[in-house]
Amino acid sequence: MELRQLRYLIAIADEGNLGRAAATLYVSQPALSYALKNLEAELGVRLFDRHAGGVAPTPAGRDVIAEARRTVRQADRVAAVAERHRRGQTGVLRVGFEASGAGELTTRARAEFARTHPGVRVEPKRYDWGGEAAALRAGQVDVAFVWLPADLTGLHSEIVHTEPRVVGLPTDHPLAAAAGVSIMDVKDEPLMWTERAPRAWVNWWAVNPRPDGSEPRWGPTNDNVEEMLEQVAEGTAICFAPSSMALYYTRPGLAWVPLTDVEPLRVALAWHGGGALVQAFAAIVRDLAGSPA
């Protein structure tokens, strides 16, 4: 049994369809089917039941998949430890963030770290919709500005930034020139969302349920900021975002209006392990943010 097989198994479970799983893994569907059959033969149990829409885990499959997830997470941690040491020796600090990150704090912290550590190269790494914590666990970045809510289990973290939320509207929308709107003012508007993020993250951003107990009117999905804003500007739907996006993402056809009655975005600085470079960066962020140690 190989880690590759366990990753295949997890992807099939997540997608519920061999074709979609093959696409996310960048392998052919026949190759994935063959790998699944070999794994089932090796383990001596059927892991999935096939149906018209795809596949569903068997009782044995559910248990095996749960263990596979734990094993892969642990393997990623082992690789991440080695990667952090390797990067530390070569003088590189990789900083993850999403969209506008923690606003101006993100850029100021990177600049101050580069000034005080001239021998270290700072590499910004952008992720889409809740991918920062997973990047930390996979060893892709050393430290990250994480938009909450997020699963930070096993990571060191501290909240370093908060900012209000805004609604993105097409410029010809009746509310586009308003000084502010409430969540109920836009409750009937189709809302952009993503299938790429955990559902709890999606629901928080969508303010689901709304104050009256209703569910948002779900609009089209998107995989990244650019796809989201393109559809908002063309009038397909609206979106919710942190206020820093009103500065970092301006474009024709798009208006940003403050949301007056929803909780603000909280941004945590998070890391896995505590090398000297990470601790130095955290101290700079802490100082710039005015947050306690």
Phi, psi values for residue 14, rounded to 5°: -65, -40
Say if residue 190 is in the same domain as residue 272: no
* CATH code for the domain in which residue 277 is found: 3.40.190.10
- Same domain? For 18 and 70 the reply is yes
Q: What is the pLDDT of residue 59?
A: 93
Is a pLDDT exceeding 90 seen at residue 92? no
85: in domain = no
In the predicted model, is pLDDT for residue 192 greater than 60?
Answer: yes
Q: pLDDT tens digits for 166-190?
A: 999 999 999 999 999 999 999 999 9
Average pLDDT over every residue of 5-33: 90
> pTM for this structure?
0.68
Question: Is there a domain that residue 259 lies in?
Answer: yes
Binning pLDDT at 50, 70 and 90, where does residue 292 land? very low
On whether the CB atoms of residues 27 and 37 are closer than 8 A, the answer is no
pLDDT at 83 over 70: no
Residue span of the structural domain in which 33 resides: 3-74
Domains identified in the chain, total number: 3
Question: What was the pLDDT predicted at 254?
Answer: 95
Last residue of a domain, one of 74, 109, 133: 74
The pLDDT of residue 100 is 87
Together in a domain, 203 and 258: yes
Give 84's pLDDT tier (boundaries 50, 70, 90): low
Q: What is the pLDDT of residue 87?
A: 53
User: Which has more confidence, 87 or 15?
Assistant: 15
Say whether both 120 and 203 belong to one domain: no
Averaged pLDDT, 58-76: 91
Judge if 222 and 101 occupy the same domain. Answer: no
Position 293 scores a pLDDT of: 42
Q: Is 34 in the same domain as 122?
A: no
**CATH number of the domain residue 30 falls in:** 1.10.10.10
Assigned domain for 86 exists = no
Share of the chain above pLDDT 90, in %: 66
pLDDT digits (tens, 9 = 90+) for 228-261: 999 999 999 999 999 998 888 888 999 999 999 9
Per residue in 112-166, pLDDT (tens digit) is 998 888 888 899 999 998 889 889 988 899 999 999 999 898 899 999 999 999 9
Strands of the 121-127 sheet, one edge to the other:
121-127, 92-98, 143-147, 265-271, 156-163
pLDDT at 250: 83
Same domain, 147 and 208: no
Per the domain annotation, does 178 fall within a domain? yes
- Is there a domain that residue 275 lies in? yes
248 part of a folded domain: yes
Same domain membership, residue 50 and residue 68: yes
pLDDT on residue 89: 43
Q: What is the pLDDT of residues 149-161, one digit of tens each?
A: 998 988 999 999 9
Q: Is residue 272 part of a domain?
A: yes
